Structure 1
Amino acid sequence: MTTTGKKIARLGALLTALVLGQPAMAQNLFAPVVKVGDSVVTGYELAQRTRMLEILNAPGDPAELAEKQLIEDRLKLAEAARFGITVSPEDLAAGKEEFAARANLSADEFTAALAQAGVAEESFDAFVRSGIAWRQLVRGRYGRLVTIDQQDIDRALTTAPNGEAVRVLISEIFIPTPPGREAEAQALAEQISQIGTLEGFADAARRYSAAPSGRAGGRVNWMPLADLPANLRGVILGLKPGQVSRPLPIPGALALFQLRAIEEGGYKPYEVVAMDYAAYYIAGGRSEEALRRAAEIKSRVDQCDDLYGIAQGQPPSVLDRGRKTVGEIPQDVAYELAKLDKNEVSTGLTRSNGQTLVFLMLCDRETQLAAEVDEQAVQTELQNQQIDRFANQLLARLKAETRIVRY
C-alpha cells in the first residue's frame, strides 16, 4: 500500500465503497429544501453535507445534523457579509489544509478521498468557508471585548485538584490476546476501530470485550481527563465524539476507546504524579468462584490497609501494595485506577494469561501543579471560552430573528 493509501485508510469509512449501487439522483435534487431568510439550501447541498458527515463518522443522525449545519452556515455567512467579511482563496486553502491535517492528510489527499466517496470539492469548500468567515467575524467583533488579566490566569491555575476540569465520557473494549492468537485479535480490533456509531461500538463491546464493562456496552462513567495516563490523554483528546481509537496494546489485550462526550470546566494544569494502590491476586481468573471470592473480599474491606488482614498467612506475592509514580505503573493498571475514587475497587484486570484475577483498590492519588505552565496558553484558552460564549449567543439570536422555512 502506498503512503497516501495508508493515510487514507485512517479515515476508515472513506474507503468504504458506499458510492456504489446508490439510487439515481432525484430530478429535483437542486430544488430548495430549506429557506433561511433570503437564502436557500438545496437538496443537493443537503445530500452532500449528509454524505460528508457520514464519512467523518459524525455522531447522531447525519441528515439532521447536516440540515442544522447548513442553516447555521447561511446565518453565519449572511452576518459575516453584513460586516464586509469575505474569505480569500488563500484563507480557504489554509483552512482546508488545517482540517485535513486532523486525519494526517494533505488537503489534496483529503479532497481526493472525499471525491472517491461521492463528495464534491465545492461541498468541502463550503463547509470550510463558513467556519472561517464566522471565526473572523466573532474574533473581530468580540475579541476586543474580552480582557483576561493576571488575576484571571492565577485563578485558573489555582483551581483545586478536585475542582472543575475537563471530563471525558468514554467507552472501552478489551480484546484478549492469548498466545498464538495475537493476529486474530489484531484483525478483530482493527475492524472494531472502524466503527463510527455509539450503538455499533456498544454492540461490539457486548460481543467481544473481556472487561466487565462489556455487559454495559463498554460504557464508563465520567472521569477527569487529568486522571488518565498521559499517553491515553493524548489519544482521547485526538478523538471527536463518536470516533474510536486505534488498538492500543496492553498486557494480555488490545484496548480500544470511543469518545462519547467531553465536558470542559475550569482549566486545571494539575497532573497525577503517583498513586498508592493495592493489588490482591486471586487464582481462577474470571471464573465464578474467583469472582465470588472477590465480592466477598469487597464486602469485608473499607480501605487498602484492610487487605493486609485478607492476605495474612499467604505468600507475600498475593498482595502488591505501595506508592508508585505514574511511570512505574503498568498502563492497564493506571487506566483502571483512573476510573476509581479513593478506596474503590475494580476487578476488571487479570494476569497470567487470564488465570489470575486482580482485586485492585485505589488507596490514594497524588497530584501536583504541572511543573511547566504556559500562562500564554492559559490566557488564550480563557479568551477562546469567552469568545465562544459570545458567538453562541449571537448565533442563537440570528436563529430567533430569521425566518426559516422547511419545504
Structure 2
Amino acid sequence: MMAKNFWGRTASAILVGAMLLMGAAVPAMAQNVRATVNGTIITDLQVAQRQKLFALEGNRGGSKGALDQLVTEAIQLGEAKRIGITVSNAQVDEALLQIARNMKVSQDKLVSMLQQGGVGMDTLKDRLRAAIAWNAVTEQAIMPQVQISELSLDQEAAAKVQVYQGFDYILKEVIFVGSAGRSGQANSYRSKFSGCDTAVDLSLGYTDAAVIDVGRRHATQMPEAIAKELAGLNVGGITKPRAVETGLSMLAVCEKTQAEDLTFIKGDLRAEAGNTALGGQSETYMAELRKNAKIIFN
C-alpha cells in the first residue's frame, strides 16, 4: 500500500519538520489551500517549497509554474491509483540515490544542498513519486496504444543505408594495452599483418598485445568512421590503430561479404518513432485526464 503522502501530514508535523530543517524555531504559520484536485489538497506551503526547488534547478516557472506542476502530479498520482499502481518508499529512495549519482555527489551532500536552498527532502521525494507513478502509467496504459508502421520503417531504413554499410564481416580485434609508447608497436604489427590465421602468432612477438575474436558484425552496427574504413579493406586487411579505453585497437577482416541488413537501422528508427509517438500519446492522455479532473483554485 502506498505510504502516506507528505502533503497529507498534519500541519503541526510539517512545521516541526520545517523547523528542524531550518535549524531554528519559527512562528507557526497557517496553511492556505491553493487548489483541490479531485479531492487532493494543495497548500501554499507546498507551492512555496516547490518554487524553492525550482530556484535550485534554475527553473523560472515561479509560483504559477509550481502550482501547475503540483496539479499535474496530483492528477498523475490519482490515475496511477485508479489503475492499481503503487510506488514504494524503496523506489523513491532508489530514484533519489540515482539523482545523487548523476550529480556525482553523496546522498548526504544532496540533502545538504536542498537544505541550504530551504527545500525539504519530502518536496523532492513527492515529485519523484509522481514521476515514477506516471512512468508506470505510461508503460501500462499508454504504450500499448502506440502503433508504428513496419512498412514505413523498412522504407525509411532502406533510404538511409549508405554504400559502405552494405557489408557483413567476421572480425578479430588486436589490442595493445596502454596507449603510451604503444603506437610504434601497433603500427609495426599492422605492417607485418598477413591475415587472421596468423594474428595470434604474430602478437606473441609484441609486449602487451592481445587478439580477441569479435565474431560477425554488420557494418550498420559500427560507428561510421570504422564502417567506412572497413569497407575499403579486403579480407586479410587491418584498420589503423585507434585509441580505446584500454589502449590502441585495430580490427582485422577475416571474412567480408556483401549483405544488406536493415535490422539495426530499423531499431534506431523504431526507438525514435516510438518515443515521438509515445510523447504525443502521453500528452493526449494527460490532456484528457486534466479535462475530466475536478480542479478548484482558491
Shift of 1:403: 2.2
Distance 1:153 1:36, change over 3 A: same
Amino acid at match of 1:122: D
Q: For residue 169 of structure 1, what is the aligned residue in structure 2? A: none
TM-score, scaled to structure 1: 0.39
Tell whether 2:87 aligns with 1:119: no
Distance 1:156 1:51, change over 3 A: farther
Q: Is the 8 A contact 1:139 1:387 kept in 2?
A: no
Counterpart secondary structure, 1:41: strand
Aligned CA-pair RMSD: 3.4
Please tell me whether Structure 1 or Structure 2 has the larger radius of gyration of its CA atoms.
2
- Runs of 4+ displaced beyond 6 Å: none
Report percent identity of matched pairs.
Answer: 22
Identify which of 265, 271, 292 aligns with 1:380. 271
Q: Distance in 2 between matches of 1:25 and 1:158?
A: 69
Higher RCO structure (Cα 8 Å, ≥6 apart): 2
Q: Distance in 2 between matches of 1:117 and 1:159?
A: 52
Identify which of 271, 291, 297 aligns with 1:400. 291
Q: Is the 8 A contact 2:37 2:294 kept in 1?
A: yes
Shift of 1:157: 4.6
Counterpart secondary structure, 1:33: strand
Q: Distance in 2 between matches of 1:388 and 1:140?
A: 15
Q: Distance in 2 between matches of 1:375 and 1:108?
A: 44
Distance 1:397 1:157, change over 3 A: same
Amino acid at match of 1:396: A
Distance 1:400 1:112, change over 3 A: same
What are the equivalent positions in structure 2 for 1:307-322 lying under 5 Å apart? Answer: none
Q: Distance in 2 between matches of 1:66 and 1:150?
A: 41
Q: Distance in 2 between matches of 1:129 and 1:83?
A: 16
Q: For residue 29 of structure 2, what is the aligned residue in structure 1? A: 27
Shift of 1:375: 4.4
Q: Distance in 2 between matches of 1:400 and 1:112?
A: 39
Q: Name the structure with the higher helix share.
A: 2
Deviations 1:153-178 (A, max 9, x none): 34555778xxxxxxxxxxxxxxxxxx
What are the equivalent positions in structure 2 for 1:246-261 lying under 5 Å apart? Answer: none
Shift of 1:373: 6.0
Q: Is the 8 A contact 2:54 2:61 kept in 1?
A: no
Counterpart secondary structure, 1:51: helix
Q: Distance in 1 between matches of 2:27 and 2:152?
A: 55
Q: Distance in 2 between matches of 1:74 and 1:33?
A: 13
Counterpart secondary structure, 1:35: strand
What are the equivalent positions in structure 2 for 1:87-236 lying under 5 Å apart? Answer: 87-148=87-148, 150-155=150-155, 157=157
Q: Distance in 2 between matches of 1:108 and 1:375?
A: 44
Deviations 1:214-256 (A, max 9, x none): xxxxxxxxxxxxxxxxxxxxxxxxxxxxxxxxxxxxxxxxxxx
Q: Distance in 2 between matches of 1:400 and 1:80?
A: 17
Distance 1:383 1:117, change over 3 A: same
Amino acid at match of 1:86: T
Distance 1:403 1:145, change over 3 A: closer
Deviations 1:270-311 (A, max 9, x none): x9xxxxxxxxxxxxxxxxxxxxxxxxxxxxxxxxxxxxxxxx
Q: For residue 68 of structure 1, what is the aligned residue in structure 2? A: 68
Q: Is the 8 A contact 1:35 1:406 kept in 2?
A: yes
Distance 1:147 1:109, change over 3 A: farther
Q: Distance in 2 between matches of 1:401 and 1:390?
A: 17
Q: For residue 11 of structure 1, what is the aligned residue in structure 2? A: none
What are the equivalent positions in structure 2 for 1:273-312 lying under 5 Å apart? Answer: none
Q: Is the 8 A contact 1:31 1:43 kept in 2?
A: yes
Q: Distance in 1 between matches of 2:133 and 2:111?
A: 20
Distance 1:128 1:156, change over 3 A: farther
Distance 1:394 1:159, change over 3 A: farther
TM-score, scaled to structure 2: 0.52
Q: Is the 8 A contact 1:48 1:123 kept in 2?
A: yes
Q: Is the 8 A contact 2:36 2:297 kept in 1?
A: yes
Unaligned regions of 5+ residues in structure 2, if any?
1-20, 161-223, 225-262
